[in-house]
Amino acid sequence: MGVPSLHIYTDLSPPQRLPHKKSWTITIGNFDGVHLGHRYLLSQAKKRSDALAVITFRNHPLTVLKNITIPSLASLDHKLLLLKRAHVNLTFALEFSYQLASLTAKEFLTEIKRCISFDRLVLGEGAVFGKNRDGTETEVKKIAKELNFHVEYVPKFCFGGEPISSRRIRDKIVQGELSEASLLLGRRYSLFVPCSPHISLSGFCLPPAGSYLVSINGQKERIDLETSPPQLTLTKRWNSSKSLIEIIF
């Protein structure tokens, strides 16, 4: 099966050319890194309907809710590519703002329903959203009856007896445990970055400073990684036809 095209929207304005599908299933989340736990959730949602839409965010919600910086496991471009590979059909990549944070769960779902007439909402076990975290499982099930859609919660995907989470993966990466991080991601950890001899890595989750043998566009390369400031230096100049290269640890 080939990878389907991914339709991308950046706000909750009703799309003028929404791909025609009989029945949409949606899910909501940050999906940082699109790790094995995320992909399990997406696969379960895809089983409910061939038309799957993801509501995600361009920035981490905690940057607004708690004014803290969360190192990213993937750039937005990288996340969208990983969602496409997971056979997502449509993505709303929203800017998480104070305005969005002020919406109750019912208001948020009503806005989504106005944009895409979904029949089913699939969420991960324990997922909570909305102003003051009012979108609990009990409340969302009430909203589902009012707005006429079905909701279900998928159990967390575990590895080594513990649920896989983006936080768990970040902890492994900053400790230099890249092999364990890769097991949780379901792929080797990688960064999509601009093609340049000196690359700023501000905002990314990084392993400890040092020299690493990585793969860049399929070729082995030795890089020197610095964390203060976060940047890396390539030992040779890359002539890439694309503006971004993938550095695989």
Average pLDDT over residues 111-136: 95
What per-residue confidence (pLDDT) applies to 15?
Answer: 66
pTM of the model: 0.92
Candidates 231, 173, 182; CA nearest to 203 is: 231
Q: Give me the mean pLDDT over the 214-231 stretch.
A: 87
Instruction: Between 245 and 17, name the one with better pLDDT.
Output: 245
Q: Which two tokens stand for residue 207?
A: 């392993």
Does residue 72 surpass a pLDDT of 60? yes
The whole-chain average pLDDT of the chain stands at 91
pLDDT at 4 over 80: no
Q: Superfamily for 7-158?
A: HUPs (3.40.50.620)
Specify the range with the lowest mean pLDDT, choosing from 127-131, 140-144, 186-190, 236-240: 236-240
Q: What would the mean pLDDT of 5-28 be, rounded to a whole number?
A: 82
**Model pLDDT, residue 14:** 72
Is a pLDDT exceeding 70 seen at residue 92?
yes
Q: Residue 3: which pLDDT band, with cuts at 50, 70 and 90?
A: low
The CB-based long-range contact list for 103-107 (8 Å cut-off, 24+ gap) reads: 103/130, 103/131, 104/130, 104/131, 104/134, 104/135, 105/129, 105/130, 105/131, 105/134, 105/135, 105/139, 105/140, 105/143, 106/130, 106/139, 106/143, 106/146, 106/147, 107/131
- For the residues 46-55, what does the mean pLDDT come to? 92
Kindly tell me if the per-residue pLDDT of 2 is higher than 80. Answer: no
Range from 149-158, 167-176, 189-198, 206-215 carrying the lowest mean pLDDT: 189-198
Q: Which residue has the higher pLDDT, 217 or 102?
A: 102
Confidence of residue 176 (pLDDT cuts 50, 70, 90): very high
pLDDT above 70 covers a percentage of the chain that reads 92
pLDDT grade for 241, boundaries at 50, 70 and 90:
low
Q: What's the CA gap between 246 and 249, in Å, rounded?
A: 10
Could you tell me which of 8, 176, 142 has the C-alpha nearest to residue 76? 8
